[in-house]
Amino acid sequence: MFLEPKPTQQIDRLNLADQIIQRILTLKEKQVIAIGLYGSLARGTDQLYSDIEIKCILNTEEEDYSWEWIEDGCKIEINFESEDVILN
C-alpha cells in the first residue's frame, strides 16, 4: 500500500500533533526537556497539504536524528536534538 499526503484541515493537524507529542512524552518521558511545533503549522500559515514539524530537545548525548512518516494522510517530521548541541 502506497501512502501519500491528503488534504487535511488545520484543526485535524493540530489534534494529530498533540497525539504524537503525547506518544513521544510517553516513549521518552525521562529524556524530554522541551518539545514543540515549528514551521507553517506553528505559525498558523499552513495549507491543506502542509506537514507537521516537531522539534524535541533531549537530555542525552546521542547524535541528532529525525523520524518521518505519513499518518492519517499527513506527513510528520520529528527532529530530536540533544541539549548540548542547542546550548553550544
List per-residue pLDDT tens for the chain, 88 residues long: 567 889 999 999 999 999 999 999 999 989 999 999 999 999 999 999 999 999 999 998 888 999 999 999 999 999 999 998 777 6
Residue 61 carries which DSSP code? -
CB 58 within 8 A of CB 81: yes
What is the model's pTM?
0.91
Domain 10-87: CATH superfamily is Beta Polymerase, domain 2 (3.30.460.10)
How do the domains of the chain map onto residue ranges? 10-87
Q: In DSSP terms, which residues pair with 66 in a beta bridge?
A: 79
Strand locations in the chain, DSSP E? 32-38, 52-58, 65-71, 74-82
